Structure 1
Amino acid sequence: MAVRPSAIWHHQVAEQARAVALGRLTHANASLAHRYPDDLISRTDTALAAFEAEIAGLPRPAPPVAVLTAVRHVLGALDFLAPRLTDTTCETVERAQLRAYVRQVIAEHDATPAPAPRAHLHSA
């Protein structure tokens, strides 16, 4: 099952908070709560849950336009992340996690778009 990036981020924040509580990490070095605030995690999780539901509701094989529409919907819902992902220190990681998640959800729900019909070439 695809693990939502928001769940990964929540887990990382919780682990870092435990490390601070145990004295293994200083507050000054604990940056993940700032990087992944609760509101960001919650909004991302809501968008990804809606995407999962939309993909799960598609017929099999899924019409390519329906899959692309679902992807557009989740991208629009995640648009609030854009200003945050311009920081190169986190851009690559989060974008890669989100891309992998979208691909995995599509694959798990067997919603890969049906191949387009191929034109038959006839030899003269």
Structure 2
Amino acid sequence: MAKRPTDVWRESIAEEAAAVAAGTLDPECAYSAGFFPESLLTATDDVLAAFEADVAALDGSPSDGDVLGAVERVVLELNRVNEAHDEAAYETEERELLCAYIDASLVAAGIDVAALAERQGLGRHEITDRWREW
């Protein structure tokens, strides 16, 4: 499976905390812990774990509908997480990481995402767009 965006965010929090403790970063410049509260990290991890289970359950040659169903479910759940965090959970960089994670997870499961998107009349990076609100 691809590296979860939440792992990247937790690493950023830890790096900033270490820099503050070492005196190389002003505490007022440490934004990660505030930007990625534990409630957001936990909720996002729960959604990504469910997506990983969905992807693992796809058989050898799943239909486009099966794959897109997994994508739809993860995107709708991420919408709910974003809504629960005042519509501010995922900014541009976070959105890009989440979309790249979805793509990479599908590729790791043997899905040809480019071909899937083409069959749907979409660009590769548009497979989340019809459901995504974040």
Q: Confirm or deny that 1:84 pairs with 2:88.
A: yes
Contact 1:58 1:66 in 2 (8 A): yes
Spell out, residue by residue over 1:40-60, the C-alpha distance to the aligned partner (whole angstroms, 9 max, x if none): 111111111110110111112
**Structure number with higher relative contact order (C-alpha < 8 Å, ≥ 6 residues apart):** 1
Q: RMSD of aligned C-alpha atoms?
A: 1.8
Contact 1:62 1:112 in 2 (8 A): no
Match of 2:13 in 1: 13
1:107-122 alignment runs, 5 A limit: 107-112=107-112
Q: Which amino acid aligns with 1:107?
A: V
Match of 2:97 in 1: 97
* Residue correspondences, number: 112
TM-score by length of 2: 0.77
DSSP 3-state at the match of 2:25: coil
C-alpha separation in 1, matches of 2:60 and 2:82: 31
Q: Which protein is bigger by CA-based radius of gyration?
A: 1
Contact 1:2 1:104 in 2 (8 A): yes
List alignment gaps of at least 5 residues for structure 1.
117-124
Match of 1:122 in 2: none
Q: Give the superposition deviation at 1:111.
A: 3.2
DSSP 3-state at the match of 1:84: coil
Match of 2:51 in 1: 51
TM-score by length of 1: 0.82
1:2-41 alignment runs, 5 A limit: 2-41=2-41
Q: Give the superposition deviation at 1:76.
A: 1.4
List alignment gaps of at least 5 residues for structure 2.
120-134
Spell out, residue by residue over 1:63-102, the C-alpha distance to the aligned partner (whole angstroms, 9 max, x if none): 11011111111111111225115xxxx6221111011000
C-alpha separation in 1, matches of 2:13 and 2:48: 19
Spell out, residue by residue over 1:3-57, the C-alpha distance to the aligned partner (whole angstroms, 9 max, x if none): 0001100111111011111111111111110111111111111111110110111
C-alpha separation in 1, matches of 2:91 and 2:78: 14
Give the percent of matched residue pairs that are identical in Structure 1 and Structure 2.
Answer: 37
Q: Which amino acid aligns with 2:51?
A: F
